[in-house]
Protein backbone atom coordinates (compact mmCIF):
# COMPACT_ATOMS: atom_id res chain seq x y z
CA UNK A 1 0.00 0.00 0.00
CA UNK A 2 1.23 3.51 -0.82
CA UNK A 3 -0.19 6.95 -0.14
CA UNK A 4 -0.20 10.59 -1.13
CA UNK A 5 -0.93 13.50 1.24
CA UNK A 6 -4.69 13.15 0.62
CA UNK A 7 -5.24 9.53 -0.42
CA UNK A 8 -4.18 5.99 0.51
CA UNK A 9 -3.61 3.74 -2.50
CA UNK A 10 -4.04 -0.04 -2.35
CA UNK A 11 -3.47 -2.63 -5.07
CA UNK A 12 -6.29 -5.19 -5.23
CA UNK A 13 -6.27 -8.68 -6.75
CA UNK A 14 -9.42 -10.75 -7.31
CA UNK A 15 -9.63 -14.25 -8.71
CA UNK A 16 -12.62 -16.37 -9.61
CA UNK A 17 -13.10 -19.62 -11.47
CA UNK A 18 -14.19 -19.80 -15.07
CA UNK A 19 -14.33 -22.67 -17.52
CA UNK A 20 -13.63 -21.27 -20.99
CA UNK A 21 -13.70 -23.11 -24.30
CA UNK A 22 -10.45 -21.45 -25.36
CA UNK A 23 -8.03 -18.78 -24.15
CA UNK A 24 -8.82 -15.27 -25.38
CA UNK A 25 -6.54 -13.11 -23.19
CA UNK A 26 -2.77 -13.30 -23.36
CA UNK A 27 -0.80 -14.20 -20.25
CA UNK A 28 -1.84 -15.47 -16.84
CA UNK A 29 -4.90 -13.27 -16.37
CA UNK A 30 -7.35 -15.55 -18.14
CA UNK A 31 -5.58 -18.92 -18.08
CA UNK A 32 -5.49 -21.96 -15.81
CA UNK A 33 -9.23 -22.11 -15.23
CA UNK A 34 -9.45 -18.78 -13.44
CA UNK A 35 -9.97 -15.10 -14.13
CA UNK A 36 -7.52 -12.74 -12.45
CA UNK A 37 -8.51 -9.10 -11.98
CA UNK A 38 -6.52 -6.11 -10.79
CA UNK A 39 -7.78 -2.86 -9.32
CA UNK A 40 -6.68 0.14 -7.27
CA UNK A 41 -8.60 1.20 -4.15
CA UNK A 42 -8.36 4.81 -2.98
CA UNK A 43 -9.29 5.78 0.58
CA UNK A 44 -8.85 9.01 2.54
CA UNK A 45 -5.40 9.39 4.05
CA UNK A 46 -6.89 9.94 7.51
CA UNK A 47 -8.39 6.42 7.41
CA UNK A 48 -11.98 7.48 7.92
CA UNK A 49 -14.43 4.62 7.26
CA UNK A 50 -17.29 4.59 4.79
CA UNK A 51 -20.33 2.39 4.24
CA UNK A 52 -20.22 3.20 0.52
CA UNK A 53 -17.76 2.21 -2.19
CA UNK A 54 -17.71 4.12 -5.49
CA UNK A 55 -16.70 1.76 -8.32
CA UNK A 56 -15.20 3.19 -11.51
CA UNK A 57 -14.81 0.67 -14.33
CA UNK A 58 -14.26 0.80 -18.08
CA UNK A 59 -14.48 -2.28 -20.33
CA UNK A 60 -10.93 -1.92 -21.63
CA UNK A 61 -9.12 0.89 -19.80
CA UNK A 62 -7.70 1.50 -16.36
CA UNK A 63 -9.09 4.55 -14.60
CA UNK A 64 -6.79 5.15 -11.64
CA UNK A 65 -4.92 7.87 -13.53
CA UNK A 66 -8.07 9.87 -14.20
CA UNK A 67 -8.57 12.91 -11.97
CA UNK A 68 -12.10 12.24 -10.67
CA UNK A 69 -11.52 9.01 -8.67
CA UNK A 70 -8.63 10.43 -6.66
CA UNK A 71 -10.45 13.75 -6.23
CA UNK A 72 -13.46 11.91 -4.79
CA UNK A 73 -11.24 9.99 -2.36
CA UNK A 74 -9.64 13.25 -1.24
CA UNK A 75 -13.11 14.42 -0.15
CA UNK A 76 -13.58 11.35 2.06
CA UNK A 77 -15.07 8.78 -0.33
CA UNK A 78 -13.84 5.21 -0.76
CA UNK A 79 -13.16 4.54 -4.45
CA UNK A 80 -12.28 1.45 -6.48
CA UNK A 81 -10.78 1.78 -9.97
CA UNK A 82 -11.53 -1.68 -11.32
CA UNK A 83 -9.90 -3.27 -14.34
CA UNK A 84 -11.59 -5.96 -16.40
CA UNK A 85 -9.71 -8.99 -17.66
CA UNK A 86 -9.32 -7.03 -20.93
CA UNK A 87 -7.71 -3.91 -19.49
CA UNK A 88 -5.48 -2.19 -22.05
CA UNK A 89 -6.39 -4.73 -24.75
CA UNK A 90 -9.94 -4.91 -26.09
CA UNK A 91 -9.07 -7.01 -29.15
CA UNK A 92 -10.98 -10.09 -27.96
CA UNK A 93 -13.25 -8.40 -25.43
CA UNK A 94 -16.55 -10.13 -24.68
CA UNK A 95 -18.92 -7.67 -23.04
CA UNK A 96 -20.86 -10.36 -21.20
CA UNK A 97 -17.64 -11.41 -19.46
CA UNK A 98 -16.88 -7.80 -18.52
CA UNK A 99 -20.24 -7.74 -16.73
CA UNK A 100 -19.17 -10.86 -14.82
CA UNK A 101 -15.90 -9.17 -13.88
CA UNK A 102 -17.72 -6.12 -12.56
CA UNK A 103 -20.05 -8.40 -10.63
CA UNK A 104 -17.04 -10.05 -8.97
CA UNK A 105 -15.83 -6.67 -7.70
CA UNK A 106 -19.25 -5.72 -6.32
CA UNK A 107 -19.64 -9.05 -4.56
CA UNK A 108 -16.17 -8.69 -3.04
CA UNK A 109 -16.95 -5.13 -1.91
CA UNK A 110 -20.09 -6.18 -0.08
CA UNK A 111 -19.23 -9.64 1.23
CA UNK A 112 -15.49 -9.30 1.97
CA UNK A 113 -14.86 -5.60 2.57
CA UNK A 114 -18.26 -5.08 4.16
CA UNK A 115 -19.52 -2.05 2.24
CA UNK A 116 -23.29 -1.73 2.60
CA UNK A 117 -23.70 0.35 -0.55
CA UNK A 118 -22.01 0.43 -3.94
CA UNK A 119 -22.27 3.29 -6.43
CA UNK A 120 -21.25 2.63 -10.03
CA UNK A 121 -19.55 5.62 -11.67
CA UNK A 122 -19.49 5.18 -15.44
CA UNK A 123 -17.06 7.55 -17.15
CA UNK A 124 -16.75 7.48 -20.96
CA UNK A 125 -17.08 3.84 -22.07
CA UNK A 126 -17.80 2.96 -18.47
CA UNK A 127 -21.13 4.78 -18.63
CA UNK A 128 -22.83 2.18 -20.79
CA UNK A 129 -21.06 -0.53 -18.80
CA UNK A 130 -22.47 0.77 -15.51
CA UNK A 131 -26.00 1.12 -16.87
CA UNK A 132 -25.87 -2.25 -18.63
CA UNK A 133 -24.55 -4.04 -15.55
CA UNK A 134 -27.27 -2.55 -13.38
CA UNK A 135 -29.98 -3.49 -15.87
CA UNK A 136 -28.77 -7.09 -16.13
CA UNK A 137 -28.27 -7.36 -12.35
CA UNK A 138 -31.82 -6.16 -11.69
CA UNK A 139 -33.30 -8.37 -14.41
CA UNK A 140 -30.87 -11.17 -15.37
CA UNK A 141 -31.73 -12.80 -18.66
CA UNK A 142 -28.55 -13.52 -20.68
CA UNK A 143 -27.44 -17.13 -21.08
CA UNK A 144 -25.38 -16.88 -24.28
CA UNK A 145 -23.19 -14.38 -26.10
CA UNK A 146 -24.27 -13.12 -29.55
CA UNK A 147 -21.96 -15.78 -31.02
CA UNK A 148 -23.95 -18.49 -29.21
CA UNK A 149 -21.34 -19.30 -26.57
CA UNK A 150 -22.70 -20.09 -23.07
CA UNK A 151 -22.30 -17.28 -20.53
CA UNK A 152 -24.43 -17.59 -17.45
CA UNK A 153 -25.32 -14.04 -16.51
CA UNK A 154 -28.80 -15.24 -15.63
CA UNK A 155 -27.45 -17.64 -13.02
CA UNK A 156 -24.50 -15.56 -11.83
CA UNK A 157 -26.51 -13.84 -9.09
CA UNK A 158 -25.08 -10.43 -9.96
CA UNK A 159 -25.51 -8.03 -7.06
CA UNK A 160 -27.16 -4.75 -8.14
CA UNK A 161 -25.54 -1.45 -7.23
CA UNK A 162 -27.38 1.14 -5.17
CA UNK A 163 -26.97 4.05 -7.60
CA UNK A 164 -25.41 4.84 -10.98
CA UNK A 165 -23.51 7.95 -12.09
CA UNK A 166 -23.10 8.41 -15.84
CA UNK A 167 -20.32 10.95 -16.43
CA UNK A 168 -18.93 12.23 -19.76
CA UNK A 169 -20.17 9.01 -21.32
CA UNK A 170 -21.54 7.71 -24.61
CA UNK A 171 -24.45 5.34 -25.18
CA UNK A 172 -22.28 2.31 -25.90
CA UNK A 173 -19.10 1.32 -27.68
CA UNK A 174 -21.30 0.14 -30.54
CA UNK A 175 -23.21 3.44 -30.72
CA UNK A 176 -19.93 5.34 -30.77
CA UNK A 177 -18.50 3.17 -33.53
CA UNK A 178 -21.73 3.39 -35.54
CA UNK A 179 -21.30 7.18 -35.59
CA UNK A 180 -17.55 7.18 -36.31
CA UNK A 181 -17.18 4.26 -38.75
CA UNK A 182 -15.99 5.55 -42.13
CA UNK A 183 -18.71 4.70 -44.68
CA UNK A 184 -16.49 5.48 -47.65
CA UNK A 185 -14.71 2.10 -47.40
CA UNK A 186 -16.00 -0.18 -50.16
CA UNK A 187 -13.59 -3.09 -49.77
CA UNK A 188 -12.75 -4.20 -46.20
CA UNK A 189 -9.46 -5.69 -47.44
CA UNK A 190 -8.43 -2.55 -49.35
CA UNK A 191 -8.94 0.71 -47.43
CA UNK A 192 -7.78 2.70 -50.47
CA UNK A 193 -10.94 1.68 -52.34
CA UNK A 194 -13.28 4.43 -51.18
CA UNK A 195 -16.38 6.31 -52.27
CA UNK A 196 -15.23 9.91 -52.63
CA UNK A 197 -18.66 11.32 -51.84
CA UNK A 198 -18.65 9.54 -48.49
CA UNK A 199 -15.04 10.37 -47.59
CA UNK A 200 -15.25 13.47 -45.38
CA UNK A 201 -11.45 13.80 -45.40
CA UNK A 202 -11.14 13.86 -49.20
CA UNK A 203 -11.03 17.45 -50.56
CA UNK A 204 -12.60 16.15 -53.79
CA UNK A 205 -15.79 15.32 -51.91
CA UNK A 206 -18.40 17.84 -53.12
CA UNK A 207 -20.08 17.65 -49.70
CA UNK A 208 -18.19 19.96 -47.35
CA UNK A 209 -19.06 21.54 -43.98
CA UNK A 210 -21.51 22.82 -43.08
CA UNK A 211 -23.18 19.60 -44.14
CA UNK A 212 -26.78 19.48 -45.29
CA UNK A 213 -29.34 17.41 -43.39
CA UNK A 214 -29.80 15.26 -46.48
CA UNK A 215 -26.08 14.45 -46.65
CA UNK A 216 -25.92 13.55 -42.96
CA UNK A 217 -28.92 11.25 -43.35
CA UNK A 218 -27.23 9.52 -46.28
CA UNK A 219 -23.93 9.35 -44.40
CA UNK A 220 -25.43 7.84 -41.23
CA UNK A 221 -27.31 5.23 -43.27
CA UNK A 222 -24.08 4.27 -45.05
CA UNK A 223 -22.26 3.94 -41.73
CA UNK A 224 -24.87 1.55 -40.38
CA UNK A 225 -24.87 -0.40 -43.63
CA UNK A 226 -21.10 -0.92 -43.39
CA UNK A 227 -21.39 -2.02 -39.75
CA UNK A 228 -24.05 -4.56 -40.71
CA UNK A 229 -21.96 -5.87 -43.61
CA UNK A 230 -19.12 -6.58 -41.19
CA UNK A 231 -21.56 -8.20 -38.77
CA UNK A 232 -22.97 -10.45 -41.50
CA UNK A 233 -19.45 -11.46 -42.54
CA UNK A 234 -18.48 -12.22 -38.93
CA UNK A 235 -21.54 -14.42 -38.43
CA UNK A 236 -20.91 -16.25 -41.70
CA UNK A 237 -17.24 -16.84 -40.83
CA UNK A 238 -18.16 -18.20 -37.39
CA UNK A 239 -20.60 -20.58 -39.06
CA UNK A 240 -17.91 -21.70 -41.50
CA UNK A 241 -15.40 -22.36 -38.71
CA UNK A 242 -17.99 -24.34 -36.78
CA UNK A 243 -18.89 -26.39 -39.86
CA UNK A 244 -15.22 -27.26 -40.48
CA UNK A 245 -15.04 -28.77 -36.98
CA UNK A 246 -11.29 -28.23 -36.64
CA UNK A 247 -9.16 -26.63 -33.95
CA UNK A 248 -9.72 -23.20 -35.51
CA UNK A 249 -12.65 -21.70 -33.60
CA UNK A 250 -11.96 -17.94 -33.77
CA UNK A 251 -10.40 -15.47 -36.16
CA UNK A 252 -8.97 -11.98 -35.60
CA UNK A 253 -9.38 -9.30 -38.23
CA UNK A 254 -8.67 -5.65 -38.98
CA UNK A 255 -11.28 -2.91 -39.37
CA UNK A 256 -9.97 0.04 -41.38
CA UNK A 257 -10.88 3.70 -40.95
CA UNK A 258 -13.03 3.98 -37.84
CA UNK A 259 -12.99 7.66 -36.83
CA UNK A 260 -14.97 9.62 -39.40
CA UNK A 261 -17.73 11.35 -37.47
CA UNK A 262 -18.85 14.50 -39.35
CA UNK A 263 -19.37 16.18 -35.96
CA UNK A 264 -15.62 16.56 -35.64
CA UNK A 265 -15.47 18.61 -38.84
CA UNK A 266 -18.77 20.47 -38.55
CA UNK A 267 -19.34 22.04 -35.11
CA UNK A 268 -22.94 22.86 -36.09
CA UNK A 269 -23.78 19.15 -35.78
CA UNK A 270 -24.86 18.42 -32.20
CA UNK A 271 -23.18 21.66 -31.14
CA UNK A 272 -21.33 22.02 -27.87
CA UNK A 273 -18.18 23.83 -26.75
CA UNK A 274 -15.74 21.34 -28.28
CA UNK A 275 -12.77 22.39 -30.41
CA UNK A 276 -13.55 22.13 -34.16
CA UNK A 277 -11.59 19.67 -36.32
CA UNK A 278 -10.20 17.96 -33.23
CA UNK A 279 -11.09 15.00 -31.02
CA UNK A 280 -9.98 13.43 -27.76
CA UNK A 281 -7.23 11.47 -29.57
CA UNK A 282 -5.97 14.35 -31.71
CA UNK A 283 -6.44 15.05 -35.42
CA UNK A 284 -9.47 12.93 -36.41
CA UNK A 285 -8.18 12.33 -39.93
CA UNK A 286 -4.98 10.85 -38.51
CA UNK A 287 -6.82 8.75 -35.93
CA UNK A 288 -9.21 7.46 -38.62
CA UNK A 289 -6.47 5.30 -40.10
CA UNK A 290 -4.11 5.04 -37.11
CA UNK A 291 -3.49 2.06 -34.82
CA UNK A 292 -5.56 3.30 -31.86
CA UNK A 293 -8.87 3.66 -33.66
CA UNK A 294 -12.03 2.10 -32.27
CA UNK A 295 -12.38 -1.59 -33.18
CA UNK A 296 -9.18 -1.46 -35.22
CA UNK A 297 -8.11 -4.95 -34.12
CA UNK A 298 -10.88 -7.34 -33.16
CA UNK A 299 -12.19 -10.90 -33.42
CA UNK A 300 -15.38 -12.44 -34.75
CA UNK A 301 -16.90 -12.95 -31.29
CA UNK A 302 -15.72 -9.63 -29.97
CA UNK A 303 -17.19 -7.74 -32.90
CA UNK A 304 -20.61 -9.21 -32.19
CA UNK A 305 -20.37 -8.70 -28.43
CA UNK A 306 -19.04 -5.16 -28.18
CA UNK A 307 -19.09 -3.46 -31.59
CA UNK A 308 -22.27 -4.62 -33.34
CA UNK A 309 -25.10 -2.22 -32.55
CA UNK A 310 -27.64 -4.93 -33.32
CA UNK A 311 -26.11 -7.49 -30.95
CA UNK A 312 -24.23 -5.99 -28.00
CA UNK A 313 -25.53 -6.50 -24.47
CA UNK A 314 -23.73 -3.29 -23.49
CA UNK A 315 -26.33 -1.01 -25.06
CA UNK A 316 -26.73 1.77 -22.51
CA UNK A 317 -29.69 3.33 -24.28
CA UNK A 318 -31.74 0.13 -24.10
CA UNK A 319 -30.54 -0.93 -20.66
CA UNK A 320 -31.42 2.47 -19.15
CA UNK A 321 -35.05 1.72 -19.96
CA UNK A 322 -35.17 -1.07 -17.38
CA UNK A 323 -32.92 -0.06 -14.48
CA UNK A 324 -34.56 1.50 -11.43
CA UNK A 325 -31.90 2.80 -9.02
CA UNK A 326 -31.09 6.53 -8.66
CA UNK A 327 -29.26 7.91 -11.69
CA UNK A 328 -27.10 11.01 -12.09
CA UNK A 329 -26.19 11.99 -15.66
CA UNK A 330 -23.38 14.52 -16.13
CA UNK A 331 -22.66 16.12 -19.50
CA UNK A 332 -19.36 17.93 -20.07
CA UNK A 333 -20.31 20.67 -22.52
CA UNK A 334 -16.91 20.76 -24.25
CA UNK A 335 -16.62 16.97 -24.44
CA UNK A 336 -14.55 15.98 -27.47
CA UNK A 337 -15.18 12.24 -27.13
CA UNK A 338 -18.72 11.48 -25.98
CA UNK A 339 -21.21 12.98 -28.48
CA UNK A 340 -23.19 15.86 -27.04
CA UNK A 341 -26.53 14.17 -27.72
CA UNK A 342 -25.77 10.93 -25.89
CA UNK A 343 -26.10 11.97 -22.21
CA UNK A 344 -29.45 13.63 -22.82
CA UNK A 345 -30.70 10.64 -24.83
CA UNK A 346 -29.81 8.25 -22.05
CA UNK A 347 -31.35 10.48 -19.39
CA UNK A 348 -34.62 10.75 -21.29
CA UNK A 349 -34.74 6.98 -21.87
CA UNK A 350 -33.93 6.08 -18.26
CA UNK A 351 -36.72 4.48 -16.23
CA UNK A 352 -35.18 5.36 -12.85
CA UNK A 353 -37.82 7.17 -10.75
CA UNK A 354 -35.02 9.26 -9.22
CA UNK A 355 -32.92 10.70 -12.04
CA UNK A 356 -30.96 13.93 -12.34
CA UNK A 357 -29.31 15.65 -15.34
CA UNK A 358 -26.52 18.20 -14.87
CA UNK A 359 -23.96 19.95 -17.09
CA UNK A 360 -20.39 21.04 -16.35
CA UNK A 361 -20.05 24.02 -18.67
CA UNK A 362 -16.77 24.21 -20.56
CA UNK A 363 -15.48 20.85 -19.30
CA UNK A 364 -13.62 18.61 -21.75
CA UNK A 365 -13.64 14.84 -21.67
CA UNK A 366 -10.66 14.54 -19.30
CA UNK A 367 -10.93 17.89 -17.45
CA UNK A 368 -7.35 18.41 -18.67
CA UNK A 369 -6.01 21.69 -17.34
CA UNK A 370 -9.39 22.47 -15.79
CA UNK A 371 -8.96 22.04 -12.01
CA UNK A 372 -11.85 24.35 -11.22
CA UNK A 373 -14.22 22.29 -13.40
CA UNK A 374 -12.90 19.06 -11.90
CA UNK A 375 -13.69 20.50 -8.47
CA UNK A 376 -17.18 21.47 -9.66
CA UNK A 377 -17.87 17.95 -10.94
CA UNK A 378 -16.53 16.37 -7.77
CA UNK A 379 -18.70 18.58 -5.57
CA UNK A 380 -21.74 17.89 -7.74
CA UNK A 381 -21.27 14.13 -7.34
CA UNK A 382 -20.65 14.40 -3.64
CA UNK A 383 -23.71 16.58 -2.99
CA UNK A 384 -25.92 14.23 -5.01
CA UNK A 385 -24.71 11.21 -3.03
CA UNK A 386 -25.08 12.98 0.32
CA UNK A 387 -28.65 13.96 -0.52
CA UNK A 388 -29.43 10.26 -1.02
CA UNK A 389 -27.58 9.21 2.14
CA UNK A 390 -25.01 7.35 0.07
CA UNK A 391 -22.15 9.43 1.53
CA UNK A 392 -21.76 11.18 4.85
CA UNK A 393 -21.87 14.97 4.74
Q: What does the DSSP assignment read for 192-243?
A: EEE-GGG-TT-TT-S--SSPPHHHHHHHHHHHHHHHHHHHHHHHHHHHHHHH
Work out the average pLDDT over 78-87: 96
Name the strand (E) or helix (H) holding 38: strand 34-44
pLDDT at 40 over 50: yes
Considering 282, 307, 332, which residue would you say is the last residue of a domain?
307
- Provide the 3-class DSSP secondary structure of residue 120: strand
- Provide the 3-class DSSP secondary structure of residue 134: helix
Share above pLDDT 90 across residues of the chain, in percent, rounded to a whole number:
89
Residues 18 and 116 in one domain: yes
Work out the average pLDDT over 226-254: 97
Residues 10 and 99 in one domain: yes
Cis peptide before 89 (omega within 30 of 0): no
pLDDT bin (cut points 50, 70, 90) of residue 29 is: low
Q: Which domain holds residue 349?
A: 2-172+312-387
Work out the average pLDDT over 156-165: 97
pLDDT at 1 over 60: no
Pairing of strands 252-254, 297-299: antiparallel
pLDDT tens-place string over residues 14-23: 999 887 777 7
Contacts of residue 237, defined as CB under 8 A and 6 or more positions apart, other chains included, come to 251, 300
- Provide the 3-class DSSP secondary structure of residue 349: helix
Residues 322 and 190 in one domain: no
- Provide the 3-class DSSP secondary structure of residue 103: helix
Considering 307, 339, 367, which residue would you say is the last residue of a domain?
307
Considering 253, 273, 307, which residue would you say is the last residue of a domain?
307
Residues 166 and 184 in one domain: no
| DSSP bridge pairs for 44 | 7
Residues 150 and 201 in one domain: no
Residues 40 and 151 in one domain: yes
CATH value at residue 140: 3.40.50.1820
What burial letters (b/e) apply to 30-47, b meaning 16+ CB within 10 Å? beeeebbbbbbbbbbeee
Gyration radius from the chain CA atoms: 21
Residue 279: DSSP 8-state:
B
User: Does residue 392 fall inside a structural domain?
Assistant: no
Residues 203 and 120 in one domain: no
Residues 149 and 8 in one domain: yes
pLDDT tens-place string over residues 338-372: 999 999 999 999 999 999 999 999 999 999 999 99
pLDDT at 149 over 50: yes
Work out the average pLDDT over 265-286: 92
pLDDT at 31 over 80: no
How many distinct structural domains can be found in the chain? Answer: 2
pLDDT tens-place string over residues 295-316: 999 999 999 999 999 999 999 9
Work out the average pLDDT over 72-76: 94
Work out the average pLDDT over 124-147: 96
User: Does residue 393 fall inside a structural domain?
Assistant: no
pLDDT at 271 over 80: yes
| DSSP bridge pairs for 117 | 52
pLDDT at 27 over 70: no
* Mean model confidence pLDDT for the chain: 94
Residues 119 and 230 in one domain: no
- Provide the 3-class DSSP secondary structure of residue 62: coil
Residues 193 and 208 in one domain: yes
Amino acid sequence: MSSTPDVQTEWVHLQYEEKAAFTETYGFSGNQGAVNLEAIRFRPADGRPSDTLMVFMHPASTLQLLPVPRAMAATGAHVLCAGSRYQRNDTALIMEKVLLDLGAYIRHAKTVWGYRQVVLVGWSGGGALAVSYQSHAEDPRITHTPAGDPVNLKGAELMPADAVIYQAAHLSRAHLLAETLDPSVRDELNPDDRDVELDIYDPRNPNQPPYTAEYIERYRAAQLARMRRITAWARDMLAQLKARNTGEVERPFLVHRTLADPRFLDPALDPNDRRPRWCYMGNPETVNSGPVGLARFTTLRSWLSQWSLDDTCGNGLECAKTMRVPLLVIENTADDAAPAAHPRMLFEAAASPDKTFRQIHGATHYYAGQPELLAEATQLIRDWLVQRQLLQA
